[in-house]
A and B are shown apart, each in its own frame.
Chain A
Amino acid sequence: MMILVIAPFFTSFILRTVAWRQILADEGPVATTLNTLHLLPGGRITETWMAVVAGLTYNFLPFMVLPIYASLERADHRIIEAGGDLYANGFTTFRTVTLPMSMPGVLAGTLLTFIPAAGDYVNAELLGSDNTKMVGNVIESQFFRVLGGFPTAAALSFTLMAIILALVFVYVRKFGTEELL
């Protein structure tokens, strides 16, 4: 299963996103199935926010899986078994023992996913439309295509960095363990 998680890394990030265009295309398997079940309100997935979010989720999934896996792997199984010995059912054991023990991994995984995803523009460029442009797309177009856009692109980058930094600071302050801050 580890190999399944790591296998996508052997292909380039952009190639995988282009492949997702085919998977989510109007005549593709996902869109036709959902259309047959009448579950798709707009009738298509590509060029909607759903495609962008799906692409982001897919592309950053390994960065979420591996830290959580590492923290769960390291967890002492005897402590989890002790939860059962103390008459907790499976869900209670998970909520009060397993989940808190894996919190460092969850924190690392969410940060590793959120920070690059907020600045990502490949997914929005390849899977989205003009209505789903993200900051990364604006920075890219200001930098490369708009004449005289350099200062605006730089200001956008700095603002994005400040916003992410502030959010991450609040998040780590709220959920982090004492060794992080």
Chain B
Amino acid sequence: MSALAHVGAGASGAPTGPPPEPTKKSRLAYLLLLPGAVWLLVFFVIPLVQLFTVSLQSQFPGYPGYYYRDVNVGNYWRAFTDFGPHFGRSLLFAGLATFFAFCLAYPLAYAMAFKAGSGGAS
């Protein structure tokens, strides 16, 4: 039973008793996960949170370019009322581009996969 728990990489502890010690294998997995997780935290999660706080800031009246921390949902309202057409246009253009790219790419990929080169030895 104990040998089985060790093979299970510490994921499935028995319902009674303390959870088993993390085995060497699972520790290696966490070690491999670490650089990517740190990278994402520093360069993705923290800037994202900062972006969110900035998006709720308000301006000091009379001092353009200076802000204070606030919960100003008006920024989001402004994003929709002033720039609504831009959102629509962005999604429309991106959708059209995706559609045309798909129409161009599928025959190309098909030819590459089945008709050309070493891969096409059907």
Contact = CB atoms under 8 A, between A and B. Distances in A.
Q: Is this pair of chains taken from one and the same complex?
A: yes
Interface of A: 1-2, 5, 49, 52-53, 56-57, 60-61, 64-66, 68-69, 72-73, 75, 77, 81, 98, 102, 105-106, 109-110, 113-114, 117-120, 124, 132-138, 147-148, 150-152, 154-160, 163, 167
Contacts of A167: 91
Contact of B94 (A118, A148, A152): A118
A106 B107 CA distance: 12
B38 interface: no
Contact of A132 (B89, B91, B104): B89
Interface of B: 51-52, 54-59, 64-65, 67, 72, 75-76, 78-80, 83, 86-87, 89-91, 93-98, 100-102, 104-106, 108-114, 116-117, 119, 122
B101 A1 contact: no
Given A1-B116, A56-B94, A134-B93, A148 B59 contact: yes
A86 B100 CA distance: 33
B90 A64 contact: no
Which of A56, A98, A106 is most buried by chain B, counting CB atoms within 10 A of its CB?
A56
Contacts of B56: 151, 155
Given A1-B116, A134-B90, A135-B90, A60 B97 contact: yes
Shortest 5 CB-CB contacts between residues of A and residues of B: A154-B55, A56-B97, A72-B113, A155-B75, A64-B105
A118 B89 contact: no
A49 B93 contact: yes
11 contacts: A1-B117, A53-B96, A61-B105, A72-B112, A75-B113, A114-B98, A118-B90, A118-B91, A133-B86, A152-B75, A155-B79
B69 to A, nearest CB: 11
A163 B91 contact: yes
